[in-house]
Each structure stands twice: as C-alpha cells, then as structure tokens.
A and B are shown apart, each in its own frame.
Chain A
C-alpha cells in the first residue's frame, strides 16, 4: 500500500522483496482439478495449505529457522513472494470499531491506541473504494459500516445457520470479504465464483497486494522492484537518520545496499521487528527505533478454536454448483457484553461447509460416519465396510458436513515477545528470532466460551457434532497455538509516549524520523477482527503523512 500511494504521488520507490515475483494471472493454480496434482492437492513442505495454495513458504523455511524460549510455543507462517501472505489469505476485511482502539479505557487491560476510529475511518473509506469489499450495513456500534459492494446470497447451510442464530440471538450477517462482486475498474475483473481465492485470482477479482497494489504501483513507472532481496539491516548515519537498507541477493548471494531518503518497513510484524533488532550501532545498541526497549514485545496473535458436525437433513442432497466466493457468505461478529462474562474481549465466528470440490483428504474416516446414520434404505450399517455399498456412502454423505471457527482478541502483553536468538543465524548469516509466548487465562476462558457457543449453534442448526467437542482445561479448550491464526501483530507498537512505544501515531519511529513501519507491527491491540484492513488503512494514512512531511521538508 505504501509503494502504491507514494508511487502515485510521483515519488520514486525501491521495493525490496525477499521472494520471487508473483502474479496470479501468470502463476496459475486457479481452476485446476485435483487430478492435475499427483498428490490431489495435499499439502507439502513447500505448500503447507495445499498444493494449489498461493503461498510460497510455510511454517518452516529451508535454511531460515526460528527458535522458541523456555518451552513456550509460537508458530510463524512466512510467505516469500511479492504480495506475501495476502496472496492466499481469507479476504475477511473487517474494520476495527471505536471500542477496539480504546480497550484499556473499557476494561483496564493492555493499552489504548494513540488514535481512535475517527482518525482511521476516512482511510477505511478510501481502502474500501480502492480495493473493494462486499458486505451489508448493519449499524452495529463496534462493527462499523463500510462502503460495500453487494454480498452473495447465503448457501443452504448458511441459511440454516442464520435461522439458528435468530433463535439463539446470535447475529449471522453477510460476510465482509475483499472480493469484487461488481467490477470497480478496468484493470480487475469481477468474481466468477470458483471459491478458490486462496489460489490467487487470474482476473484479480480478490485483494492481493501483489495484483491490486504492487502491479499498478509498478505501472506508474516510479517503482523499481528487486525480488529475492533478503534485507539484512537498516543503515543509519552518525545523526541516527536512516540512509537505506543492506540486503543479500538470494540469486548470487552477494551483498548490496540501497540508499533512500525514507525507509519504510512492511516485512510482517515479526520480520520488521527482527530487522530493527538486527540494525545495531554504537548509537543504537538495542537495535534501531528501540530506545524504549519495546521492539519485539507485545506480540499477539488472534485466539482460535473450531468445531464441526454433520447436518443429517443434508445427507443425500441434490447436486448443484455451490462454490460461491472464496469463503463464507455469512459470519457472526462479536455480539456479547463482556461485563457479563468471565473473560475480556470478543471473537467473531467464521462458517464453512457444503458441496466443495473434493481434494486430498476427501472421504477420510468414513467409518466414523457411515455407521451412525441410516442409509438410503433407512437402515444403519456397520461402520466402515467396502464395495458398492461403501462407494455409495461417499456419495450419500457428500456435502452434509459443516463447521465453524472462532477468531478472537488476545491481550497484548509485554512478556509475549520475539527477540534475537543470541546463538542462531539463518543461511544468510542473519541472526534469527526467538519467540516466547504463553496464553493467559483470558484467552483460555474465551476459547471455552467459543466451544460452548459452537456446540449450541450446531445443535440448534439441527446438526450432530462430529469433531472439536473436546475442550478441557488441559488442552486449553482447543485454543490454537500462538501464531497459528497468522494474525500476529504488536511488535513495534505505536503510542504517544516514546518510553512505551516504538512508533508515533503516524507509524513513524520516535527515534528515527525517516523510518516508518506499515505492517501489523504498529498495532497496540488486535481486536476481534482480522488485521489486514487496518494494516491497509494505517499504511495509507502513514504514506499520506510521509508525502506531507516530504513537502514540508521535515524528513
């Protein structure tokens, strides 16, 4: 987003990318059939989310380790490609609400942001128009309306979920995804409903920064993009001003530097923190922009837990194309008052199910299903089996499964952090990150509430729970390991007090006025929303501030 805004303002930009170039119109996996993959779309060490997924990377990268401290767990997903993780993400594009910027004032936990909803709202509006997002105006206090394209109609199981929601007083409303149900310009096509946004879209009908921002930024003629450039450190001069970046070119393994008037980091929250911490000098012994000591701290990921089941009324259903857009057509925003609950902060619920395209894993574990429900002849069979009767079971139960995932807000804490591992470097000789992260009782109680709610919803929908109803205190109610939801933020947080924050309210380093960070690092708190829309809005806001400051010759 920063490259896009700056290039369009006539500013020359050099964009360093740690991976190769990528354009879903050229690097195609969309509309491929499972049989075109010898592994039928199964995941591999190089494609953790499946053979057709548009992420070059995964939880582990060859030669680029990270470590964990004191037996704690944090899993870090990295995509090394132009556009990074926006190429395969869920396109769930939620604005933060007014409360999300001021939660300390509400519940005393964490910190308030130095900005409020009104500061960001104009930029959310601009992002909505520039990128495109569908949704519905619900006038919820903390789930602000956007400038929406029309949403798709709910699928059949989503209609049942809507009815269950009404009965349980849980809102089930049109989802808000950055997918073009109507064209918004000549460069990008409209969605053709293949349900495969995670593969990248050949007509650029969904939001990936590679196709929606980087591509048009390059078209301005103001952007030089250098792929396979692994940044080593931010260079500074004797006055503490950033002068550029040193990087290793992964193709020839030679060292290069690029000089710049302004340095902007958008390498993902942890990678940007790593860069700062590795940019040590006699002036900045703790790393750049880190006089406060907060860089790497206050790391937090969304909470997550899941549950699923079977809808007996959908067994033996009629076939029709139910693909729809890539993801849910309805979702549940946070709806309760925490004053009446034993945990702070909320979660939203994402739904899935229906007659999706079969892939690797299809039919696995049929013995857990076909012995539980009456077959076409009204009789319950012995579980498992073989032959023509088993073959028919796969047809019979197809499309009857559904499930849901909660994604909630964790409290940002100083003692959840990433730091430089003193003993380990990657294959480029760059010191790597070491993580220290533990969930607190706040998150565990929230996960318990998710599980209870999911069970209620499944039952009320007329479903039978088949997995995920296994929450106990010992397994933290199925709470996903930190990092697993891939919403990690907070490592270079903004604030008005330079002793407690790395950046000011314009994403500008307190200690280095021509250094900006525009990924998830600047977040003070995560909210029960996905972070992307707020990253985009704040990046646009910071970029306009940079243009303004350059004009005033302040930087």
Chain B
C-alpha cells in the first residue's frame, strides 16, 4: 500500500512540470505486476534517451518502408514502432552499437551515392539503397554490413508492428480472451480432411452452451 502511494505522488509531481513529461511518466506506471526492483528499472529506462532526432527520423522512414500502410492496416509509424525501437535498444543494450552503427552506415552509403544523408534522399534514392540490402541471398558482398543492419531493422519493425494493437488486428489473432475452447472449428477440420475420433469426442471436455 505504501508503495503505490509513493508511485502516485511521483506521477502528480511530474504532471506539474509539462504535458510532455506527463506522458513520459504515465508510461512508467505499467498496468501489470511489477516487483520493486522492476519499478526502479522501468523508471530509469523511461528517463533515458538513446537515439537522437536524426536517428529517430531515419528509423521512422525505414520502418515505414519495411511496413507501409496498405488496404488492411496502417504503417509501422502509425503503430508506434519508432518508440518501441527506441525503448528496446535501451532495454537490451546489445542492440545499441549495431543499430547506431547501421544507421551511420546507411548515411555514409547515401552520402557517397547521393551526396546527402538517407533521410534527405528522395524516396526513389532511398529505395535504391534499400534494394541493395534487403535481400540477403542476392546482396553483393560489399553490402553485407548493410544486410545485417537491415535484417535487425526488419525484425524490430515487424515485431513492433505485429505486437501493436493495429498489427494484432491486421494479423487476425483473436485470442487472449476468456472462452470455452471446444476444438478446431468444423469447417477447418473439413478443409484439412481431419476429424476428431470417437474416443476423443467421448473423453474430451464438454461445455453446456
């Protein structure tokens, strides 16, 4: 009890500072079980900033190239992927050097070819570079470091997207809700030409609807 009132006091205090601060602090108050040690760590992580504005801009552009808006759902940035990437590199510091270095690699590539950083290139120029690093099996050896970076970026973007509210709806995952699980739907069993044998039907749990 004492602990939760301390948390609330911190939140109130920070609200007085600025609206931006309020959002940041609100993120600290996670709505699921945290131990005291975890609360301290969450707060520390939320207060840190890793990527600078230019890096965040590049991450946002790249993220939306990887997962764009389509007829089903929004883009990576619509789903908050850049903020997830900023958080996960603080949470798992092993990502920091590959991501920071990879973004720099991208800017250097861009500078050599188009005399400007990646974010300032035209979309066409950006795609030209991405095409060189997005296909591991046909990429030229001189782009190998770029391929590694893009693999990481693709992983984090897709993961961030498909674990967001928008992404899960897009994917069609319909669980995480109380239900009475009564087996594979009949039309799916028929589609695959399988069925529950009589013993299974007799033994398995039955529900009163």
CA distance A122 to B33 in the complex (A): 38
Q: Is the CB of A394 within 8 A of B134?
A: no
Q: Is the CB of B136 within 8 A of A362?
A: no
Provide the residues of chain A in CB contact with B138, threshold 8 Å. 382
Interface residue? B124 (CB, 8 A)? no
- Min distance, Cβ B140 to any Cβ of chain A, angstroms: 14
- Min distance, Cβ A46 to any Cβ of chain B, angstroms: 5
Q: Is the CB of B178 within 8 A of A194?
A: yes
Provide the residues of chain A in CB contact with B109, threshold 8 Å. none
Interface residue? B6 (CB, 8 A)? no
Shortest Cβ distance from B33 into A: residue: A27
Provide the residues of chain A in CB contact with B160, threshold 8 Å. 40
CA distance A382 to B87 in the complex (A): 31
Q: Is the CB of B194 within 8 A of A385?
A: no
Beta-carbon contacts under 8 Å, A190-230 to B: 192-196
Q: Is the CB of B136 within 8 A of A367?
A: yes
| Residue total for B at the interface (Cβ-Cβ under 8 A) | 71
Interface residue? A383 (CB, 8 A)? yes
CA distance A46 to B30 in the complex (A): 15
Given A320-B174, A384-B151, A391-B67, answer yes or no on A358-B168 (Cβ-Cβ < 8 Å).
Answer: yes
Partner of A32 from the list B32, B66, B91 (CB cut-off 8 Å) is B32
The A-B contact count (CB < 8 A) is 225
For chain A, the bracket of interface size reads: 35 or more
Provide the residues of chain A in CB contact with B165, threshold 8 Å. 33, 35
Q: Is the CB of B164 within 8 A of A153?
A: no
- Min distance, Cβ B194 to any Cβ of chain A, angstroms: 5
Which of B15-23, B48-56, B110-118, B196-204 lies at the interface with chain A?
B196-204
Interface residue? B184 (CB, 8 A)? yes
Q: Is the CB of A366 within 8 A of B171?
A: no
Contact flags B115-153 to A (C-beta < 8 A → 1, else 0): 000000000000000100011111000000000001100
CA distance A480 to B67 in the complex (A): 36
Shortest Cβ distance from A38 into B: residue: B87
Shortest Cβ distance from B203 into A: residue: A136
Report which B residues bind A (CB closer than 8 A).
Answer: 27, 30-33, 35, 37-38, 41-42, 45-46, 65-68, 70, 80, 84, 87-88, 91-92, 130, 134-138, 150-151, 154-155, 158-160, 162-165, 167-168, 170-185, 187-189, 191-192, 194, 196, 200-201, 203-206
Known: A45-B41, A182-B205, A395-B171. 14 other contacts (CB 8 A): A29-B32, A34-B164, A37-B32, A38-B27, A47-B38, A62-B37, A151-B205, A153-B182, A193-B178, A193-B179, A355-B173, A357-B173, A371-B137, A384-B150
Report which A residues bind B (CB closer than 8 A).
Answer: 20, 27-29, 31-42, 44-47, 51-52, 54, 56, 62, 134, 136, 149-156, 159-160, 163, 174, 181-182, 192-196, 313, 317-325, 355-367, 371, 382-388, 390-392, 394-395, 398
